[in-house]
A and B are shown apart, each in its own frame.
Chain A
Amino acid sequence: MIDFKHVKKYYPNGTVALDGVDLHIDDGEFVFIVGHSGAGKTTMTKLLLREEAVSSGTLVVGNNNLAKIKNREIPFYRRELGVVFQDFRLFPNKTVYENVAFAMQVVGTPRSMIKRRVPAILSTVNLADKLKCFPRELSGGEQQRVALARALANNPKIIVADEPTGNIDPKMSIEIMNLLMKINKLGKTIIVVTHEKNLVDYYKQRVVMLKDGKIVEDRVGGMFE
Chain B
Amino acid sequence: MRKHYSLRYFTGQAMTGLWRNGVMSVASVAVLMSCLVVLGCFALLLVNINVNLDNVAQLNQIVVYCDYDLDEAAVEEIGNEIEKLDYIDSVKHVSKEEALEIMREQSGDYEELYSGITEENNPLSDSFEIMYKGTDETKVFDLEAQLRSMEGVRKINSVYQVAKTLDSLKSGIMLVFLWFLIILFVVSIFVIINTIKLAVYSRRSEISVMRYVGATNWFITMPFILEGVLIGVFASLIGFAIETYIYNYVHKMALVDLQMITVLGYGKIAIPLFIGFIVIGVITGIIGSMASLRKYLKS
Contact = CB atoms under 8 A, between A and B. Distances in A.
B214 interface: yes
B208 interface: yes
Interface residues of B, number: 21
B212 A49 contact: yes
Residue from A79, A102, A108, A111 whose CB has the most chain B CB atoms within 10 Å: A108
Nearest to A103: B213
A153 B213 contact: yes
A89 B2 contact: no
A83 B298 CA distance: 24
A153 B212 CA distance: 12
B206 A78 contact: no
Contacts of A12: none
- Classify the interface of chain B: helix, strand, loop or mixed: helix
Contact of B205 (A75, A89, A153, A154): A89
Nearest to B216: A75
A14 interface: no
Nearest to B298: A71
Given A89-B205, A89-B208, A89-B209, A107 B2 contact: no
Interface residues of A, number: 23
Contacts of B212: 49, 78, 83
Interface string A79-92: 10001000001010
Nearest to B1: A110
B211 interface: yes
A111 B3 CA distance: 12
Given A76-B214, A78-B214, A154-B214, 4 more contacts: A49-B212, A103-B213, A106-B219, A111-B5
List 10 tightest A-B contacts by C-beta distance, closest first: A79-B214, A78-B214, A106-B215, A103-B213, A75-B216, A75-B214, A71-B299, A106-B210, A83-B212, A107-B214
Interface of B: 1-2, 5-6, 9, 205-206, 208-217, 219-220, 298-299
8 contacts: A71-B298, A78-B212, A102-B213, A106-B215, A106-B220, A107-B214, A108-B2, A154-B213
